[in-house]
Amino acid sequence: MDDIPKIGITGMPSVGKTDTLTKIIEALEEHGYIVEGMITEPIIEKKKRVGFYVTDWQTKDREVFAHIDFEMKDKVGKYGVDINALESIGIPAIEKAITDEAVNVIIIDEIGKMEMLSEKFCEMVIEALDSDKPIMVTLHKKSRTPLLQDVRRRDDIRILEVTPVNRNLLPYKIEKIMEEKLPPLF
């Protein structure tokens, strides 16, 4: 199947990339598809984003990946970044998504500045994109890192932008694209 769906979801910070991805995943799972990989969820305290969890979609194992209170050598903006959390939760989830025959769709949320501090993560992203499985990723909109530029330049990935205007409709649009191209489950 050379027409494997590979979707990149981009957009400004806090526009709803993860929400869009989650809605699509839930719809695909309702139709019986098995989805695996990692998602990055915000940590909200007193209505402010103070950090991010990295979560294995299937097991729901998660660790704090970045936080404003982290005193780390790796920093992105106001966040200290714990690469070990990404490498112990996110990377194994992506690896499992690639290698487990039962998994139908790989997800990686997000390919952003924090995640790219991990060389292993960057390698795993390329491996996932090069695999013969359908994949959905979210991409940092403005970052110009080599990995993001490589992903954006690929001709086998369709990149769609989440905006405040389309964020309610986009999940359905992407779900339809995925379902048209996903192999039947029986």
Answer yes or no: is 150 within a domain.
yes
| Domain extent for 29 | 6-181
* 105 contacts: CB under 8 Å, gap ≥ 6: 25, 28, 33, 34, 35, 36, 97, 133, 134, 135, 136, 178, 182
Answer yes or no: is 1 within a domain.
no
pLDDT at 2: 57
Are the C-beta atoms of residues 89 and 98 closer than 8 Å to each other?
no
> Which residue carries 């959390």 as its tokens?
85
pTM: 0.93
Number of domains within the chain: 1
Answer yes or no: is 186 within a domain.
no
pLDDT at 11: 94
Structure tokens at 59: 């097991």
pLDDT band at 1 (very low <50, low <70, confident <90, very high): very low
Are the C-beta atoms of residues 106 and 132 closer than 8 Å to each other?
no
Q: What residues form DSSP beta bridges with 75? A: 80
Answer yes or no: is 124 within a domain.
yes
| CA pair distance 104, 139, nearest whole angstrom | 21
pLDDT band at 105 (very low <50, low <70, confident <90, very high): very high
pLDDT band at 186 (very low <50, low <70, confident <90, very high): low
Find the CATH number of the domain harbouring 162: 3.40.50.300
| CA pair distance 66, 85, nearest whole angstrom | 9
Answer yes or no: is 51 within a domain.
yes
pLDDT band at 37 (very low <50, low <70, confident <90, very high): very high
Maximum distance among all Cα pairs of the chain, rounded to whole angstroms: 50
Within a 10 A sphere around the Cβ of 117, how many other Cβ atoms? 20
| CA pair distance 72, 148, nearest whole angstrom | 24
